[in-house]
Amino acid sequence: MIKDWILVRGGGDLATGTIYKLCKSGFSVLVTEIAHPSAIRRYVAFSEAVYEKNAIVEDMTCTLVEDWEQACSVMNEGRPALMIDPNCEILKEHHPSVVVDAILAKKNLGTNRSMADCTIALGPGFCAGVDVDYVIETKRGHNLGRVITEGMAAANTGIPGVIGGYGKERVIHAPVAGELFHRAKISDFVQKDQVIAVIHSSDGLEEVRASISGILRGLIRDGYPVTKGFKIADIDPRESEKENCFTISDKARCIAGGVLEAILYHRNNK
């Protein structure tokens, strides 16, 4: 059985950057997820293991497990294990050395310092030194990836970071509630106003059109039930960046570096 392990809450694309780096650095990692994850950048999100049993990101495979024994078997292979456990019931019987809240809900959904010797949270909604030991800045810019030991990360502005000259324009939200179906796929080059998906709503069929021209970097899972205003797609205006759809982003890697720094700092100074 594994005694020294890390629990990461959440398996979206930014969380996956952290999970990947921790596994590559020699740590045993168990990921907890909700029953129906809503990742947009699905090709670089270990949360897809919930649906597919295995999720491959770059050269690493994350496997869905049902219990601690299965988790240990996967972690002993140097790979991340993923368990559907939104409330971290696993902590009642098994105790990690580190807990990382990588849900990125912009608020605290229950993570606290009693969960492990070292607790880390990504982004706003947490106070370092109070809710958790460390907070990692997730806002693009000068402080991205910075380890915060006192206080909070920058507040959520609701405006996506600028890529290729576009900010909020590159993110698409559901115009109505209903079940979404694809009319394009991740990595496709799409033109502005091209139909990329349709939503079957109570009032009929609603088309979802590309807000700008570029590479469709993210698109929520086919058949996913969405609410009005739900984030469903992400377009990268840089036509040359198609391969980025299949690799962990610079932002995710930078945040992951902050997490690794916080863990090593804690172990060497506490």
- Could you give the count of Cα atoms lying within 13 Å of 109 in the half-sphere of its Cβ? 16
| 226: number of Cβ within 10 Å | 22
| Spatial separation of the C-alpha atoms in residues 129 and 148, rounded to whole Å | 9
Q: Show pLDDT as tens, one digit a residue, over the chain (270 residues).
A: 788 999 999 999 999 999 999 999 999 999 999 999 999 999 999 999 999 999 999 999 999 999 999 999 999 999 999 999 999 999 999 999 999 999 999 888 889 999 999 999 999 999 999 999 999 999 999 999 999 999 999 988 777 777 777 778 899 999 999 999 999 999 999 999 999 999 999 989 999 999 999 999 999 999 999 999 999 999 999 888 899 999 999 999 999 999 999 999 999 997
Supply the Cα-derived Rg of the chain in whole angstroms: 19
What residue ranges define each of the domains in the chain, with the CATH number in brackets?
6-155+250-269 (3.40.50), 168-237 (2.40.50.100)
Query: 231-236 and 214-219 as β-strands: parallel, antiparallel, unpaired?
Result: antiparallel
- Kindly state the tokens that stand for 62: 């994350």
Query: 178-182 and 225-226 as β-strands: parallel, antiparallel, unpaired?
Result: antiparallel
**Cβ within 8 Å of residue 77, ≥6 positions away:** none
User: Do residues 188 and 216 make contact, with C-beta atoms less than 8 angstroms apart?
Assistant: yes
Query: 81-84 and 134-136 as β-strands: parallel, antiparallel, unpaired?
Result: unpaired
User: Do residues 218 and 249 make contact, with C-beta atoms less than 8 angstroms apart?
Assistant: no
The dihedral over CA atoms of 137, 186, 65, 60, expressed in degrees to the nearest 10, equals: -70
Phi, psi (degrees; rounded to nearest 5) at 24? -65, -25
User: Do residues 223 and 178 make contact, with C-beta atoms less than 8 angstroms apart?
Assistant: no
| Spatial separation of the C-alpha atoms in residues 104 and 12, rounded to whole Å | 9
The b-or-e profile of 253-266 (16+ CB within 10 A means b, else e) is bbbbbbbbbbbeeb
- Could you give the count of Cα atoms lying within 13 Å of 235 in the half-sphere of its Cβ? 28
- Could you give the count of Cα atoms lying within 13 Å of 241 in the half-sphere of its Cβ? 18
| 129: number of Cβ within 10 Å | 14
| Spatial separation of the C-alpha atoms in residues 178 and 270, rounded to whole Å | 50
Burial class (CB in 10 A: 0-12, 13-18, 19+), 33: buried
Q: What's at 55, amino acid-wise?
A: A
| 189: number of Cβ within 10 Å | 15
